[in-house]
Amino acid sequence: MNKTTHSCFLLIILLIRMVPSLSSTVNYTDPTLEPVVTENSVIRQKIIDSQFKCYERMNRAPPYKKKGLFCNRTWDGWLCWDDTPAGRVTAQNCPDYFPDFDPTERASKYCDETGNWFRHPESNRTWSNYTLCNSFTSEKLKMAFILYYMAIVGHALSITSLLISLAIFFYFKSLSCQRITLHKNLFFSYVLNSMFTIAHLIAVVPNPGLVKRDPVSCKVLQFFHQYMLGCNYFWMLCEGIYLHTLIVVAVFAEEQRLHWYYLLGWGFPLVPASIHAVARAKYFNDNCWMSVDTHLLYIVHGPVMAALLVNFFFLLNIVRVLVTKLRDTHRAESNMYMKAVRATLILVPLLGIQFVIIPWRPENRLAGEIYDYIMHILMHYQGLLVATIFCFFNGEIQGALKRQWTQYKTQWGQRRREHCSTRSTSYTATSITEVPIYLYHHDSNNEQLNGRYVEDSELVALKSGETSA
């Protein structure tokens, strides 16, 4: 989704790559050994690149101007170190050459009082401290695996709950209205998004060979992934616009034309996804487009954030109108629409909050871990959340399901009684006469909104009474 969380995935990738060979190619724990040229050409390439940049920097940077002793700028074989005043420890982020080096940890180097770099006492050679770079790797690997499986489970749960919701929407034709149609499209886009994410997580992320080969198919997968991300948020925007038009602009007149919504929800996200693909291919064509260190990702995330913001303002406007103007005039409808808006109002900030708090990952390790868990839940369990709030917690749908359930129960009950006993007709007669009363009482709660449903169930009760009497 966004930079820091994608960097989590990058960490996952790096750490998963580590699994077959659990040690780096250089024995850095040996204090006597400085990094020598390794056989692995990719790693070596990175190190040579860094070396080149280091000497360029050493060449061009102005000479040390402050007073007092200092250690000269140097290349230690892995990282570049600037002129440092005597008696100070300088630190920078660990390099990412090796699979078990964590680039978020710090490597340090001590410049002693005499203006020379610290020499390791055992070997008497200049030594930088890279021990923190791989010391926590096993815990981080474990946590990375937990987050990875959490993501897959989240998306699987989302797909399941969304498919169940879609089945409910399609089965209960009586529920369908324009808003449900928009829900169906939203859920469908979430299902597709989860499918693409699972495909990406299972096929590409743990597969460094594939990433190295860099086939076109994995870039196409990324393109569709970005497209589906756009679809998700633009369908949320369509819901907001629909509610806004319904309540604020047209005041409860039904039947808008949905063509423009389909265009905005399915068609328009192609635009940022295509622009991102073109820009990525031209300027930042890394393997499988997996890197998240590029601002080009904002080509997709910028419009998504804009859509979220616009949606939020639409919803605030709706609430304002409902509260102020319609309170007195259209009481019943405004309650109903307030309930509809409530669901969307809860969802939009929840879906958008990840974009707001993402830049502020805490530095503290424990707080950082908690942050990671929360962000992962917010990101990967969205489909489940949307299905729950829009479908399972919806009063109308719950009522329809309950009615269906009692209908089935009475039908089974009837068949069982017919099958089991032909003699005790008095028993069946009394139990059948009880049933319509039960149904009627049960449905009286929903009478206000769903008048026609009460009629349906009464008809069912009457029919069952007729056939068995």
Residues that bind another protein (CB under 8 A): 32, 34, 36-37, 44-45, 48-49, 51-53, 55-59, 72-77, 123-126, 237-238, 241-242, 244-245, 249-250, 253, 256-257, 260-261, 263-264, 268, 271-272, 275, 279, 283-286, 291, 294-296, 298-300, 302-303, 306-307, 310
Beta bridge partners of 107: 92
Nearer to another protein, 32 or 398 (CB): 32
Nearer to another protein, 247 or 461 (CB): 247
289 closest CA partner among 374, 204, 222: 222
CB of 446 to another protein, least distance (A): 29
DSSP three-state, residue 355: helix
Nearer to another protein, 245 or 414 (CB): 245
Nearer to another protein, 175 or 241 (CB): 241
What are the two backbone dihedrals, phi and then psi, of residue 86, each rounded to the nearest 5 degrees?
Answer: -65, 145
* Percentage helix, strand, coil for the chain under 3-state DSSP, each rounded to 5: 70, 5, 25
Contact predicate 103/93, CB 8 Å? yes
Chain-centre distance of CA 220, in angstroms? Answer: 20
Burial bucket for residue 152 (CB in 10 Å: 0-12, 13-18, 19+): middle
Nearer to another protein, 6 or 44 (CB): 44
Task: Write out the two tokens for 290.
Answer: 């997996």
Residue with structure tokens 């039904």? 254
CB of 89 to another protein, least distance (A): 20
List, in sequence order, the alpha helices (H) in 207-330.
Answer: 208-213, 216-244, 259-262, 270-283, 298-324, 326-329
CB of 57 to another protein, least distance (A): 8
379 closest CA partner among 187, 104, 148, 220: 148
CB of 301 to another protein, least distance (A): 9
Nearer to another protein, 52 or 412 (CB): 52
Contact predicate 229/304, CB 8 Å? yes
Nearer to another protein, 78 or 381 (CB): 78
Spatial neighbors of 136 by CB under 8 A, at least 6 apart, are 102, 105
Spatial neighbors of 247 by CB under 8 A, at least 6 apart, are 318, 321, 322, 326, 337, 341
Nearer to another protein, 272 or 383 (CB): 272
